Amino acid sequence: MSTGIPFVSGAKPGLGHVEEFNSTPLDFMHRAFEECGEVSEFDLGGLRTVLLVGPDAHEAMFRTPDAQLSAAQAYQMMVPVFGEGIQYGAEPHIERQQLKMQVQGLKHDRMLNYAQIIEQEVDEFIAAWEDSGVIDVYEQFTQLTLKTSTHCLLGKDLRFRLTDEFGELYHDLENGIAPSSLSNPEEDDERFRRRDAARQRLEELITEAVRDRRARGVHEQDMLQVYMESTYNDGRKLTEHEITGMVIWFMFAGHHTSSNTTAWTLLEISRHPEYLAELREEIDALFADDSALSLKGLRDIPLLDGFIRESLRVHPPLNTITRRVMQDWQYKGYTISAGKNVMVCPHVSHKLPEQFENPEQFDPKRPPASHLFAEIPFGGGHHKCIGNAFAILQVKAILSTLLHNYEFTLDQPADSYLESMPALILRPSEPCRLRYSRRS
């Protein structure tokens, strides 16, 4: 029945492992690895899923073409959120062209502009802080990156006009995705009705903005402008339905991934005060000249970089990187048959002692892993993240400004900052409070 692949214990009749996977996905995948080794199979309510652990597995999965291991088929639950005809809801040749448009919007000259926007948002954000106080890092960075992302995406007009409504619509869209969506994307539920209503309203708002911008003949430096001007290979422009989908796709890919990375990095910096003097020296040097943060953010800041990279190793935001097997696929002597999913989980693989010495230890000066596919917070191969430079720029810009202006210390016992993965993205569980005080 399991074609020889070790099958994880604890399956329930009719449900398999779906309940355990949905309630504690990370613990479940660690258990699967400990029990069965680098290849294990489990059952998500009838959808057989094979978990693959380690750099060889990552490389094999990421290098296999979509025709055999399909990302689009695995992530069909995103189609109602982004909309038909966008990304995984589009024909593969259309999806690739849409991806190129997203890449266009993340080019170097645009990034300089986004860095200025981020700087402006961070300054406004900390203007509301007192000289000292307590913040919840999850909540604060979720809010801040919602502002930076909407600003870079939609421009200042919509960012300032829409903040509250956009936040609510986006929340309804996000609620349409849960771990269970991997196995049952069409589950009928109030959450899905709200998701569809939110998408429709967002399309109305974006359509209005696009038409207004076209009527006024203005050209902004944001992603919306990129989408408005992009054309497919046959010369066709994106429709307003597609532009809305591109906006939602960008938000989903970049918002929580970046905000949680910012939160974890600041938590880890505060948990490791032994590096603070060195970190501060590095950051203060950055502010010693008058260059804009846009340039600072792109510059090499080795210790802060090390903290960000190590946070992405220890607390990788995306942990269910999945493909649908379209044609039987061989890996290490096993045949994984068509119709199953294969999955890799950075949270499990990033803790392998063969790849990372003392893997549980947080070490911002850890040398890079020797295998190219050992560290995969941004995935790899055909679908490797296109937003990694933007994400790192954003985290660096936010944290260097904060650390230049404030001291941060723990407001809870160091071991009380825990991980949680209520939806598809790993985040700090609440409370996750830090104390801050303005530097003299």
Strand pairing class (47-52; 341-344)? parallel
228 vs 253, which CB is nearer to ligand HEM? 253
Contact between 71 and ligand HEM by CB under 6 A: the answer reads yes
Contact between 250 and ligand HEM by CB under 6 A: the answer reads yes
Q: What are the CA-CA distances from residue 7 to residues 50, 51, 154, 261, 381 (Å)?
A: 9, 10, 47, 33, 28
Distance CA(383)–CA(360), nearest Å, equals: 28
280 vs 383, which CB is nearer to ligand HEM? 383
379, 61 contact by CB (below 8 A): no
Distance CA(304)–CA(394), nearest Å, equals: 12
Contact between 378 and ligand HEM by CB under 6 A: the answer reads yes
266 vs 318, which CB is nearer to ligand HEM? 318
Contact between 261 and ligand HEM by CB under 6 A: the answer reads yes
245 vs 317, which CB is nearer to ligand HEM? 317
296, 392 contact by CB (below 8 A): no
Using the rule CB under 6 A, which residue among 253, 279, 304, 402 binds ligand HEM?
Answer: 253
210 vs 342, which CB is nearer to ligand HEM? 342
Half-sphere exposure of 25 (CA within 13 A, CB side): 28
Query: Please, what is the minimum distance in Å from the beta carbon of residue 71 to ligand HEM?
Result: 5
Q: Which residues lie below 8 Å from residue 317, measured CB to CB, with a gap of 6+?
A: 256, 257, 260, 261, 377, 425, 426, 427
Query: Please, what is the minimum distance in Å from the beta carbon of residue 308 to ligand HEM?
Result: 8
Query: Please, what is the minimum distance in Å from the beta carbon of residue 373 to ligand HEM?
Result: 12
Distance CA(396)–CA(291), nearest Å, equals: 15
Contact between 72 and ligand HEM by CB under 6 A: the answer reads no
Choices 46-54, 99-107, 213-221, 416-424 (CB under 6 A): range interacting with ligand HEM: 99-107
Contact between 318 and ligand HEM by CB under 6 A: the answer reads yes
Query: Please, what is the minimum distance in Å from the beta carbon of residue 14 to ligand HEM?
Result: 29
**H or E segment at 436?**
strand 433-438
Which residues from 1-20 bind ligand HEM, rule CB under 6 A? none
348, 374 contact by CB (below 8 A): no
Burial of 264 (0-12, 13-18, 19+ CB in 10 A): buried
Distance CA(136)–CA(435), nearest Å, equals: 9
Q: Using CA of residue 385, residue 386, residue 391, residue 392, what is the dihedral sign?
A: positive
Burial of 152 (0-12, 13-18, 19+ CB in 10 A): buried
Q: What does the DSSP 8-state code read for residue 341?
A: E
Query: Please, what is the minimum distance in Å from the beta carbon of residue 311 to ligand HEM?
Result: 9
Query: Please, what is the minimum distance in Å from the beta carbon of residue 371 to ligand HEM?
Result: 17
Using the rule CB under 6 A, which residue among 182, 209, 391, 426 binds ligand HEM?
Answer: 391
Contact between 390 and ligand HEM by CB under 6 A: the answer reads yes
Query: Please, what is the minimum distance in Å from the beta carbon of residue 316 to ligand HEM?
Result: 6
Nearest CA-CA partner of 227 in 252, 244, 208 = 244
Query: Please, what is the minimum distance in Å from the beta carbon of residue 439 to ligand HEM?
Result: 27
Contact between 345 and ligand HEM by CB under 6 A: the answer reads no
Position with the least CB separation from ligand HEM: 387
Contact between 304 and ligand HEM by CB under 6 A: the answer reads no
386 vs 423, which CB is nearer to ligand HEM? 386
Contact between 170 and ligand HEM by CB under 6 A: the answer reads no
Q: Which residues of 388-398 are buried (b: 16+ CB within 10 A; e: fewer)?
A: bebbbbbbbbb
Contact between 386 and ligand HEM by CB under 6 A: the answer reads yes
- Could you list the residues that contact ligand HEM (CB under 6 A)? 71, 99, 102, 106, 250, 253-254, 257-258, 261, 317-318, 321, 377-379, 383, 385-387, 390-391
